[in-house]
Amino acid sequence: MTGNAARIQAVQNITNRQPMPVSKPDSLANLWASDVFTLSKMKESLPKEVFKSVKKTIETGEALDVSVADVVALAMKDWALSKGALYYAHVFYPLTNATAEKHDGFISVQSDGSVISEFGGKVLVQGEPDGSSFPNGGIRSTFEARGYTAWDVTSPAYIMTTDNGSTLCIPTVFVSWTGEALDKKTPLLRSNAAMNKAAKRVLSLLGNTEIAPVNSSCGAEQEYFLVDANFVNTRPDLLLSGRTLLGASPAKGQQFDDHYFGAIPERIQVYMQDVEEQLYRLGIPAKTRHNEVAPGQFEIAPFHEAANVATDHQQLIMTVLKNTAKKHGLVCLLHEKPFKGINGSGKHVNWSVGNATQGNLLDPGHTPHSNTQFLLFCGAVIRGVHKYGPLLRAAIASASNDHRLGANEAPPAIMSVYLGSQLDNVFEQISQGKITGSLNAGIMDLGISTLPTFNKDAGDRNRTSPFAFTGNRFEFRAVGSGQSVAGPLVSMNTLLADSLNWVADSLEDQLSKGKDLDSAILSTLKEIIDNHGAVVFSGNGYSAEWHKIAVEERGLANLKTAADALPVLKEKYIEELFDKLGVLSPVELASRFEIYAEQYILAIEVEAKLVVSMVKTGIYPAVLKYLSDLSSTLSSLKSNGIELDNSRLTLISEQLNSLTTTVDTLKSAIAQHDFESIEEHLQFSAKTIRPLMDEARSYADALESEVSDELWPFPTYQEMLFIK
């Protein structure tokens, strides 16, 4: 149902809505990881030797001893059956941002017709979904459909429950018959291995003797919108593309700043608590919740974890957010820009690297100037972001994220690094060739005797930077709310691996020439900051001045749209980077360009088609009806001797004409398919289709403010954002 009747019905449904029946939550101790096959559950159920072997693989990344798989499978099955599971699923992460699952029953029919539950090592370790329907970017033709999933021992298995059943879920990698990665997990694991290897080289040159495996960590802050399902169901654009393609701005938006960190509405808090309870069961450490800047916008952030596990958990968080919303009569929008004119949603990816012996390698301590280990790792990041900034931009490129980047609400599309005043100063000293000390952060004295004094942070926050150092980690803020965090993490780990190898080479070279370690470190750091300091920027990333300086004086790329950014994946230096570090082969990288480019083109095509149909079938008839009512009323008044100003009739007709002309042009633009190259098609989507959509929208939104509200067929911004 669409049209004005549906709109009225939606508002009535929401007004009469009964609150969800809720129960008091269980204790954290009972909830925590109760649906996860954790190390401690393995310890209880596995023979000592088997447990030791599995634990070693998880903790040190050592190859799994296949003979243990049967024993683990048995214990896993018993545990899953005790939780009521009848099925198991290999869960994998194809090159969309979604999660995919292949379900199989434990059931095995015996010769006498009876059934038993069966689950052996072989099916735990390897699955074989027909992969032909997943995007593969030319890696396989459909007749070579075979794809394999393989158990990722380092990410724990868990149970997903629905109201009447539960399924054992096993995180896996997804590869083609010929071994090429068709998923997001495989390169993530490879990038971590490359970073580990390079980090160990540097740590050992610094004189560390005991060096545990180095892992990357990720804590991702997820922003999202909640809209009542009654509205979404009557808006084809929200339903199919996740964002409103039309809709006039409401009188009140976010200008009062009254939503950010405001009291959370009861209905929403009940929803959040429901989400958190499920996450706790899944062993996902949900840690913060709050209202975000825009009305109807919220955030959830878990505590950080090992990047691979955090990435799987991030996918689960998105799934749980969406599924739970349905139960509460809401729709959770993970789109980067669901509503024009108010803030969009991002996913800040907090990232650091560290290990059990040296700790967090991005922790500067109180006196960063004397912490050369930290400076080398931090310097390596600076070098990497400078050299491979366009790769970071490409890793977050999508049709939906284009609306955020550079829109003065999210970081600009120019990749720069914010360090904060203390580190800026240390690197300035390095550039001068002599390190003397660290600026003191100082004590915050509030001047009120009853309030405690506390140590100030050494650096302020800079919300306009896409890549900011925030005390003991970097925060990549340009990532989109609906994206998998795997791509950004792969890029960060890989560029760091490359830089750490460069650092190790530089140190080795100087040491072999008889230089002492301290001077080798200083000159390595100096070379980094002299050659790559151009990427460090502490000012306002939104300013037009910065955009000019960044490009013209500092030589940084400003890749405004995904159409500009995605072709970076085809550049030789990017291909070499991934290839030499064993993260993605040239074929795998090329397939990613193809897939992401296709997704961009398709996403815009779907949106454009929606604009055409919403205008033709919804707005055009409504405006026509209004015009007809208006003109007959005006003429009947006139025949009674009352003459009203009829200029609105003309104005509305003109706007309607402009709208239909634009929509017709848009329709023929969508039909265009003869492009020389995929790059040309990308540009056409960005530079021709999108502007036509914007133009159509400007007429439609103007009409929305002219036409009788009684006739308007789609829920308005005011309704969607403020009625809950």
Contact residues for ligand ADP (CB under 6 A)? 217-219, 221, 288, 301-304, 350-352, 360, 472-473
- Which contiguous run of DSSP H or E holds residue 601? helix 586-614
Tell me the closest approach of the beta carbon of residue 287 to ligand ADP, in angstroms. Answer: 6
Please say which residue, 378 or 612, places its beta carbon nearer to ligand ADP: 378
Q: How do beta strands 417-418 and 467-469 pair?
A: parallel
Tell me the closest approach of the beta carbon of residue 634 to ligand ADP, in angstroms. Answer: 56
Q: What is the number of the residue whose Cβ is closest to ligand ADP?
A: 219
The token duo for 397 is 């490129």
Q: How many CB atoms lie within 10 A of CB 647?
A: 8
Tell me the closest approach of the beta carbon of residue 468 to Mg ion, in angstroms. Answer: 8
304 binds, among ligand ADP, Mg ion, none (CB under 5 to 8 A by kind): ligand ADP
Which of 243, 340, 348, 383 touches Mg ion by CB under 5 A? Answer: 348
CA 711 to CA 508: how far, in whole Å?
A: 75
Please say which residue, 7 or 473, places its beta carbon nearer to ligand ADP: 473
Please say which residue, 317 or 581, places its beta carbon nearer to Mg ion: 317
473 binds, among Mg ion, ligand ADP, none (CB under 5 to 8 A by kind): ligand ADP
The token duo for 205 is 């040159």
Tell me the closest approach of the beta carbon of residue 473 to ligand ADP, in angstroms. Answer: 4
Contact call for residue 347 and Mg ion (CB under 5 A): no
CA 423 to CA 355: how far, in whole Å?
A: 23
Tell me the closest approach of the beta carbon of residue 333 to ligand ADP, in angstroms. Answer: 20
Instruction: Tell me the C-alpha to C-alpha distance, in Å, between residue 75 and each of 52, 68, 91, 271, 690.
Output: 15, 11, 19, 34, 54
State which of positions 617-676 bind Mg ion (CB under 5 A). Answer: none
Of 454, 422, 415, give the one whose Cα is nearest residue 440. Answer: 422
CA 28 to CA 278: how far, in whole Å?
A: 11
Q: How many CB atoms lie within 10 A of CB 664?
A: 14
Tell me the closest approach of the beta carbon of residue 665 to ligand ADP, in angstroms. Answer: 43
**Part in contact with Mg ion (CB under 5 A); list of ranges 78-86, 345-353, 454-462, 670-678:** 345-353
Q: How do beta strands 85-92 and 165-176 pair?
A: parallel
Please say which residue, 149 or 465, places its beta carbon nearer to Mg ion: 465
Please say which residue, 71 or 218, places its beta carbon nearer to ligand ADP: 218
DSSP secondary structure, 290-316, as one string: EE-SSTTEEEEEEPPEEHHHHHHHHHH
Non-local (6+) Cβ contacts of 513 within 8 A are none
- Which contiguous run of DSSP H or E holds residue 529? helix 517-532
550 binds, among Mg ion, ligand ADP, none (CB under 5 to 8 A by kind): none
DSSP secondary structure, 53-113, as one string: HHHHHHHH-PPP-GGGHHHHHHHHHHHHHHTTEEEEEEEE-BSSSS-EEEEEESEEE-TTS
Tell me the closest approach of the beta carbon of residue 486 to ligand ADP, in angstroms. Answer: 15
Burial 443-454 (b: 16+ CB within 10 A, else e): eeeeeeeeeeee
186 binds, among ligand ADP, Mg ion, none (CB under 5 to 8 A by kind): none
Tell me the closest approach of the beta carbon of residue 467 to Mg ion, in angstroms. Answer: 12
Please say which residue, 220 or 703, places its beta carbon nearer to ligand ADP: 220
Q: What is the number of the residue whose Cβ is closest to Mg ion?
A: 348
Please say which residue, 105 or 285, places its beta carbon nearer to ligand ADP: 285
672 binds, among Mg ion, ligand ADP, none (CB under 5 to 8 A by kind): none
The token duo for 146 is 């075979």
Please say which residue, 221 or 594, places its beta carbon nearer to ligand ADP: 221
Please say which residue, 199 or 218, places its beta carbon nearer to ligand ADP: 218
Of 42, 35, 32, give the one whose Cα is nearest residue 84. Answer: 35
* The one-letter amino acid at 597: A
Contact residues for Mg ion (CB under 5 A)?
A: 348
